[in-house]
Structures are given as C-alpha cells and as structure tokens.
Amino acid sequence: MANLVTLSRLLLLLVVIGIAYQAPSWWQFLNVPLLIVVFVTDGLDGYIARRRGEESLFGAMFDIAGDRIVELTMWIVLADLDLVPVWVPLVFVIRGSMVDAIRASQTANRRQSPFAMMQSPLGKWLVAGKFMRIFYAVLKAHAFCWLLFIQPMPALLPDFWSQWGGLMAGIGAVLVYLSVAICLARGLPVIVEFVYQERHTILGKLMPQHSGRH
C-alpha cells in the first residue's frame, strides 16, 4: 500500500508538469495545491508503512527514489521554463547521483536503511535527522510551489507583475539558493564519510601485508 502511494505521487507529478507547459491560463494556479499534495503524500507513505507493518529496505529505497524523481524532475522542468538557472538542476543531479551511488553500495553491503548509515553526529543531524529532512523537504516544496505560482503572472496579471514582480522573483531566488545550499550541506557528510570509510578499509587491508614483511 505504501509503495502505491509513492507511485501515485509520481503520476500526480506528471499532471503538474503537463499543466505547467500549457499556455498561460488561470488553470496553472491549480499546480500549487496539486504540488502540495505531491509533497504531503511523501510523509503519508512512510506513515502507512509504519502503521501497516510494511517497512522494508525496498520501501525505504523506493521512497528515496521517488523523492529524487520528484526533486530532479521539478528542477529540470523549472530550468526549461526559464524559472531557474540551468546550473541549479545540474547541482542537484550531480550531488544526487553521487550520494545515491554511495547509498546503494552501502545498502547492498550492510543491508541497512540508507539513513541509518551515518556515523558522525553532524552527519546524522544533517542527513538522517528528522528536523533537517523535514526542513529540506518543506524548503524545496516552498521553492517549487512559489515558482509555479508566479509562472503565469506576467501574462495574466501584467499590471500586478510590473509593480511586484521584482520582489516576487527575488523571493523565489532566495528559496532556490537556500535549497541549493542545504542540498550541498546534506550531501557533503555522505561523501566525506564514504571517503573516510574507504580509506580506513584500504589501510586495514594494507597493514597486515606491511606487518608480514618484517
């Protein structure tokens, strides 16, 4: 059931994208509540999994994959619509690909939830901590909803946009740059700990060989 909720989020995302690419109309303001539903159901699938006893490694990975699909798709679409610079989705794609590759390798080796692998207190707080996960999700949701909210305004409300467009675009830019900053801050501990663990593993294999030569 929880996995079906995750899948439904992806289908609803396609509806949002379809509306965003239509000619400017009042219907495009509908994208904001639809996108809110997409993000609300992100927490709903986890709740259902816990209540129904359906928690599993696959479910955790599928939930992360669903989050990544929503996130990257939205950044790419917003860049294509000229609502964010093209470097923004590139940052998220590169960071997401590196972190997901590390998580996949560690999950296969340890058979643990990806969020249970952080070792340092800072890494646990930034990556696995409930507050930061919620804060990051809410921040991205605000950025996506705000940008889709202002998308049709220049065409539908030209007088309003001429007066307030600069401020509203500025708010959108702040939300985008904060999202990028938190994205990098949450990805860095995963990469640093992976490099440290790999270095420790390599040194552990070399030490017995070095000791055996004496």
Cα(187)–Cα(195) distance, rounded to whole angstroms?
13
The residue ranges of every structural domain in the chain are 2-212
Amino acid at 113: S
Extract the runs of DSSP E, i.e. beta strands, from 72-195: none
CATH number of 2-212: 1.20.120
Cα(16)–Cα(12) distance, rounded to whole angstroms?
6
28, 151 contact by CB (below 8 A): yes
| pTM across the whole model | 0.80
Cα(52)–Cα(1) distance, rounded to whole angstroms?
9
Please give the pLDDT value at position 153: 96
Question: Hunting for tokens 């590759």 — which residue is that?
Answer: 101
91-126 confidence digits (pLDDT tens): 999 988 888 787 776 655 555 554 555 566 776 777
Q: Count CA atoms within 13 Å of residue 161 on its CB side.
A: 11
33-46 confidence digits (pLDDT tens): 999 998 888 766 66
Q: What are phi and psi of 213, to 5 degrees?
A: -85, -10
SS3 167: helix
Cα(141)–Cα(16) distance, rounded to whole angstroms?
13
Low-confidence ranges of the chain (pLDDT < 70): 1-3, 43-62, 105-120, 123, 197-214
69-92 burial: b if 16+ Cβ within 10 Å, else e: ebbebbbbbbbeeebbeeebbebb
